[in-house]
Amino acid sequence: MSIPDFPEPGVIFRDVTSVLQDPDGLKLSIDEMQKFVKEVDCDVICGTESRGFIFGMPIAYNLHKAFVPIRKKGKLPRETISASYELEYGEAEVEIHKDAIQPGQKVVLVDDLIATGGTIEACARLIEELGGEVTRIVFLMELAGLKGREKLANYDVKSVICYEGK
């Protein structure tokens, strides 16, 4: 579902709650994203706050992989590293526990949506700073008109659904 002028005027927010509220839609979404994860070697699945948790956790569970949350600044209790990034409507910062990824671990990043690519690019930088290798980035939806895939050109990016617009 598309919500105009949220969280700010001029932004169209793509809401996944309608998918989550439909048992068949939820199962299909997770199953299709999971297919992309199964195609690559990975030790850990990282999900971004908060919708990346919704999709990443069941995929990690199903594939018997570790799950690591990447959260907004100030939400994790132990020592962290952080990365800042620009959103289409401002700036933000994400953090990961400093011991969450071990050098050499292969990581798949999962999120619900790619727009400008800023959030997930910052998450990839965190994983790499800890010595991990991002083997794939998986999204449920892609807003191709916002050109986020260009920001992630150095990564293997897959999306289940691609909207040509913004």
- The catalytic position among 51, 71, 136, 149 is 51
Q: CA nearest 110: which of 164, 165, 29, 166?
A: 29
For residue 8, give every residue at least 6 positions away whose Cβ sits within 8 Å of its Cβ, in sequence order, or none.
89
Active site residue 136: no
Question: Is there a contact between 55 and 30 (Cβ–Cβ < 8 Å)?
Answer: yes
Q: How many CB atoms lie within 10 A of CB 2?
A: 11
- Identify any residues that bridge with 50 across adjacent strands, giving them in sequence order: none
d(C-alpha 138, C-alpha 33), whole Å = 7
- The catalytic position among 32, 49, 88, 133 is 88
Active site residue 91: no
Q: What residues act catalytically?
A: 51, 88
